Amino acid sequence: MTFANYPSLSGRVVFVTGGASGIGADIVRAFAGTGAKVAFVDIQADAGAALAEELAGAEHKPRFYRCDLTDTAATQAVIAEVGRALGPIGVLVNNAANDDRHEIDAVTEEYWDWAQAINLRPQFFTAQAVRPQMQLLGFGSIINFSSIAWRGGAPNMPAYTTAKAAVLGLTRSLARAFGPDNIRVNAIEPGAVMTEKQHALWYPTPESVDALVSRQCIQKVLLGDEIARTVLFLGADDSRMITKQSIIVDGGLI
Ligand SMILES: NC(=O)c1ccc[n+]([C@@H]2O[C@H](COP(=O)([O-])OP(=O)(O)OC[C@H]3O[C@@H](n4cnc5c(N)ncnc54)[C@H](O)[C@@H]3O)[C@@H](O)[C@H]2O)c1
C-alpha cells in the first residue's frame, strides 16, 4: 500500500526522536518519502547513519545526529543546530522511549528517575526547544508517543506506563498553551507493533504473534508503517484543526 501524499509536508522540516530503529525508522522513511527535510536523533550511531544512507536517494537526504535524549542540554543543542541547518522545525515527533520491563520490588529511585528521563522528560524539553522555531513559522505540529500499555495496566512496567499516561497530560496542557501560536499538540497510542526488537524480546515464534493478533479486531500484524501513516496525517496541514487529541492505532486490541 502506498503512502498518502501530503503536499504541505513537501520541504517541511521534521525532527524525529529515536529515529534509527523500530517505529521511528518507519516514521523517518515516511517523511523522507513525502519530500520533507528530516532530521533525526538516536543513541544508536551505526543504525542512524545506515538509515540516512539508505535514504540518500530521497529528495532531501535525512540528517542523523547521535544524541542521548536523557541529556537535555545536548538535545537542545541539536534542535538549535537543525533550525540553523535546515530552517525552523515545523513537525516534532517525540517517538523515542525505552519499554524496559521491571519487577516492582526491584525498582530503585535511580531506576524510576531514569525511566522518566527517557520516557517522559524529553517530550517536554524538545517541545520547549522547538516552540520558538514554530512561532517563527506561524504553525507547528507536535506528535507525542504514548502507548496503550497504560490503559491496559501492564503490570510489569509501571515506571513506563506511568510516563506513557503522563504523556497525555503533557499533550493536553501543551496543546492549550501553544494553541494561540497555531501550534498543535497530539498524541498517538500504538498497540502491539511488531518491530524487530519486539520480535526478538517478546514474540519470537509465529504462534506467539498469532496469539496476539487473534485478540485484535483487525486480525493482521500491526507494523510500524501503520503508525507512520497516522504521524504523517497529524504532521500535515490536513489535520490543522485537530489538537489536544490522542489516537489509538492498535487494530482494536485494547
Ligand atoms: N513497539 C510497540 O509495540 C509499541 C507499543 C506501544 C507504544 N510504543 C511506543 O512507540 C515508540 C516507538 O516504539 P519502538 O517499539 O520503535 O521503540 P524501540 O525501543 O524499538 O525504539 C526506540 C528508539 O529510541 C532510541 N532511544 C532509546 N533511548 C534513547 C536515548 N536515551 N536517546 C536517544 N534515543 C534513544 C532507540 O535506540 C530506538 O531507536 C515508543 O515511544 C514506544 O513507547 C511502541
Task: Give me the CATH number covering residue 233.
Answer: 3.40.50.720
The per-residue pLDDT for range 158-202, each reduced to its tens digit, is 999 999 999 999 999 999 999 999 999 999 999 999 999 999 999
- Read off the pLDDT of each residue in 212-228 and give the average, rounded to a whole number: 98
205 found inside a domain:
no
Proportion of the chain above pLDDT 70, given as a percent: 100
CB of 158 within 8 A of CB of 246? no
CB of 193 within 8 A of CB of 147? no
198 found inside a domain:
no
105 found inside a domain:
yes
Proportion of the chain above pLDDT 90, given as a percent: 99
Domain that holds residue 131: 7-191+223-249
Ligand 1 pocket test, candidate residues 46, 98, 120, 208, most atoms within 8 A of CB: 98
Sign, CA dihedral 218-169-17-34, equals positive
Question: Which pLDDT band holds residue 1 (cuts at 50, 70, 90)?
Answer: confident
Å from CA of 57 to ligand 1 middle: 26
104 found inside a domain:
yes
Report d(CA 251, CA 155) in Å as an integer.
22
Q: What is the pLDDT of residue 14?
A: 99
91 found inside a domain:
yes
Domain count, the chain: 1
DSSP bridge pairs for 110: none
Ligand 1 pocket test, candidate residues 17, 21, 23, most atoms within 8 A of CB: 23
Å from CA of 180 to ligand 1 middle: 31
Ligand 1 environment, Cβ below 6 A:
18, 20-24, 41-44, 68-70, 95-99, 118, 145, 147, 149, 190, 192-193, 195, 197-198
Å from CA of 95 to ligand 1 middle: 6
Atom 38 in ligand 1: residue holding the nearest Cα: 18
Count CB-CB contacts under 10 A for residue 19: 32
Report d(CA 245, CA 165) in Å as an integer.
13
Ligand 1 pocket test, candidate residues 66, 70, 99, most atoms within 8 A of CB: 99
208 found inside a domain:
no
Q: Which of 6, 65, 111, 160 is catalytic?
A: 160
> Cβ contacts of residue 134 below 8 Å, gap of 6+?
88, 89, 90, 140, 178, 181, 183
Å from CA of 137 to ligand 1 middle: 29
118 found inside a domain:
yes
The set of cell numbers assigned to 23 is 517505529
CA atoms within 13 A on the CB side of 245: 13
Helix (H, G, I), strand (E, B), or coil: what is residue 120? coil
164 found inside a domain:
yes
The per-residue pLDDT for range 10-43, each reduced to its tens digit, is 999 999 999 999 999 999 999 999 999 999 999 9
Å from CA of 1 to ligand 1 middle: 24
To the query of whether residue 160 is one of the catalytic residues in this protein, the response is yes
- Read off the pLDDT of each residue in 151-161 and give the average, rounded to a whole number: 97
